[in-house]
Amino acid sequence: MYDFRNKVALVTGGSRGIGRAISLALGKGGATVVVNYAGNEAAALETCGLIEAAGGRAEARRFDVADSAACQAAIEAIVSSHGGLHVLVNNAGIAIDGLLMRLKDADLERQLDVNLKAAFFLCRAAARPMMKQRGGAIVNLTSVVGEMGNGGQTAYAATKAGLIGFTKSLARELASRGVRANLVSPGFIDTDMTRDLPEDVRARMLEAIPLGRLGQAEEIADAVAWLASDRSAYVTGELIRVNGGMYM
């Protein structure tokens, strides 16, 4: 467990799956966690309840991460309410699969909006208060698909690959003010989405993973928590792979 006492964290898409695990990891360390969600208020409130039961503090905040004005307003409200923002985790993301020749413009735009532009909006909004307080940690969630590619996921891969270049550039921009920016790149993780896959698809996935199993959301959360903590104070512009050896 890492020490996040007296720190405020925002986790996008924090109500379920990997986002919930990240929110819990930060909350257990003593952070005040703002759990962003898009529409499932019950899940967000459940995550807040789990954080509070573990001794942390939490609030659910609904806003569209693809809306620049909403992101700016949310950051301003968090800083005003809690006195600062010390950790930003851009976890929210969507995948709309399909071969390039059949990919609709709207599907491309939606993935760009949620997976890439949202991180730009939130990092831009968070940079000013973090620079003013001379410290902060940003962790962006990319994907093994953004590193190695995957048939039927050209748009998704492009957005996740874009996050890598964005984060490395951001790390260079903010380093002089004590603000760090890093990435975690998950492989195939055991979530609601992967549990619903047909058995033959799951079997093929496992064949591609040297460790022979899907990852757990908590394993992603551990990597995020380390990068968000003071224990990684000399780490910026880096990518940590948590993929069971699928891509090395």
**Which residue numbers are catalytic?**
156
Cα(44)–Cα(123) distance, rounded to whole angstroms? 22
Q: What letters, b where the CB count within 10 A reaches 16 and e where it falls short, cover 173-187?
A: ebeeeebbbbbbbbb
Rounded to whole angstroms, the maximal C-alpha distance in the chain is 52
Cα(149)–Cα(159) distance, rounded to whole angstroms? 11
Tell me the β-bridge partners of 33.
9, 58
